[in-house]
C-alpha cells in the first residue's frame, strides 16, 4: 500500500490532491493541517494536526507522528503549503516577505531534510514534489507583466533552487525530486489577492482539475527527471509564455519550464 504525505492539505490544491489519492483504496494518505482541529479522519486519510510549516517545530512534530503511527517509508511527499501577499514598489512589506519565505521555501526545505535524515523514510522508490509556480521562473518574467510582488516571485525562485540542491543530495539514494507549476487556480488564495479578476482571461482552473493533471504527471515522473521544473498543464495559463517561449499552441504539454 503506497504511503502518500501531503503537507498543506486542508484546502485548495492540497485538499484536492488528498481527495484524489484517497479515492484509491490501495493508497494510505497522510495529510497535514495547521489547525488543531483538522477534518475528521476518513477512509484512507489520516490528518496530522498542528503542523505549521513556517514554524521551526514542524519537522519534529511530523516525525513524532510518523514514528507513533509506525510509518517507516514514504512513497510520495507533496508539499503544497503556500502564502501569497501582494506588494508594489510603493508598498513593499517586510513582514509579508518574511512569511512567504518561511512558508514557501525555508519550511519545505527544513522539513524535507528532516525526513531525509530519518532512517529509511525516503529511498529509491520515493518521489518528492514541491508545489512551486511559474512565477518563480526568472526567464518568464517579462515587461508586459511589470514588477512588484517581490516576495511571491523570489520565494518561489528560492524554492526552485532548494529543490535543485536537494535533488543533487538525494540522487544517490534514487529519490526523485521536482518542482511544479500546477496551474493558475480558482482558490481563496488567488481571490484574496484580487487575482479572481484574471481567472477567466488567464485560464484558471479549479483545484480538482489541477490535482488531476498533477497526479497524472507524477505517475510519469522518475529519477530521470530529478531536479527539473515542470508545468504538467503546459503553458496555457502562463501569461508571459508567448513573448518568451513562443506560441502556446506550439509548446508541449507537459512543459519543462526554464529557470
C-alpha distances (whole Å) from 205 to each of 190, 211, 250, 251 are: 12, 10, 21, 19
Contact 189, 131 (CB under 8 A): no
Give the pLDDT confidence score for residue 189 in this predicted structure.
82
Longest dimension (CA), the chain: 52
**179-231 pLDDT tens trace:** 999 998 888 888 888 878 878 887 889 999 999 999 999 999 999 999 999 99
Is the CB of residue 96 less than 8 Å from the CB of residue 88? no
Full pLDDT tens readout for the chain, 259 residues: 899 999 999 999 999 999 999 999 999 999 999 988 888 888 899 999 999 999 999 999 999 999 999 999 999 999 999 999 999 999 999 999 999 999 999 999 999 999 999 988 999 999 999 999 999 999 999 998 999 999 999 999 999 999 999 999 999 999 999 999 999 888 888 888 887 887 888 788 999 999 999 999 999 999 999 999 999 999 999 999 999 999 999 999 999 999 9
Q: What is the DSSP string of 201-236?
A: TTT-B-HHHHHHHHHHHHHH--GGGTTEEEETTTTT
Query: Which among 99, 6, 90 has a CA at the least distance from the CA of 47?
Result: 6
Distance (Å, whole) CA 123 – CA 126: 5
Q: Which residues, 6 or more positions from 225, have their beta carbon under 8 angstroms from its beta carbon?
A: 176, 178
Query: What CA–CA distance (Å, rounded) separates 215 from 71?
Result: 22
**Which pLDDT value is given to residue 104?**
98
One-character DSSP codes across 113-137: HHHHTSTTSS-TT-EEEEE--GGG-
Amino acid at each position: 500500500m503506497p504511503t502518500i504525505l501531503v503537507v498543506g492539505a486542508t484546502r485548495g490544491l492540497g485538499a484536492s490532491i488528498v481527495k484524489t489519492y484517497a479515492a484509491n483504496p490501495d493508497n494510505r494518505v497522510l495529510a497535514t493541517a495547521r489547525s488543531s482541529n483538522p477534518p475528521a479522519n476518513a477512509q484512507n486519510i489520516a490528518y496530522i494536526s498542528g503542523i505549521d510549516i513556517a514554524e521551526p517545530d514542524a519537522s519534529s512534530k511530523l516525525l513524532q507522528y510518523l514514528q507513533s503511527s509506525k510509518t517507516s517509508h514514504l512513497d510520495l511527499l507533496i508539499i503544497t503549503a503556500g502564502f501569497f501577499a501582494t506588494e508594489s514598489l510603493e508598498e513593499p512589506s517586510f513582514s509579508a516577505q518574511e512569511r512567504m519565505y518561511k512558508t514557501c521555501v525555508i519550511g519545505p526545505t527544513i522539513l524535507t531534510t528532516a525526513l531525509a535524515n530519518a532512517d529509511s523514510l525516503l529511498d529509491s522508490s520515493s518521489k518528492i514534489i514541491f508545489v512551486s509556480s511559474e512565477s518563480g521562473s526568472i526567464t518568464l518574467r517579462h515587461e508586459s507583466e511589470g514588477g512588484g510582488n517581490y516576495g511571491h516571485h523570489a520565494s518561489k525562485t528560492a524554492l526552485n533552487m532548494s529543490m535543485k540542491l536537494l535533488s543533487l543530495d538525494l540522487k544517490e539514494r534514487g529519490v526523485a525530486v521536482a518542482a511544479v507549476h500546477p496551474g493558475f487556480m480558482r482558490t481563496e488564495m488567488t481571490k484574496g489577492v484580487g487575482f479572481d479578476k484574471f481567472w477567466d482571461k488567464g485560464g484558471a482552473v479549479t483545484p480538482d482539475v489541477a490535482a488531476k493533471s498533477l497526479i497524472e504527471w507524477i505517475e510519469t515522473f522518475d529519477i530521470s527527471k530529478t531536479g527539473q521544473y515542470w508545468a504538467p498543464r503546459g503553458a496555457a495559463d502562463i501569461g508571459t509564455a508567448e513573448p518568451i517561449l513562443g506560441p502556446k499552441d506550439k509548446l508541449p504539454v507537459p512543459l519543462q519550464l526554464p529557470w
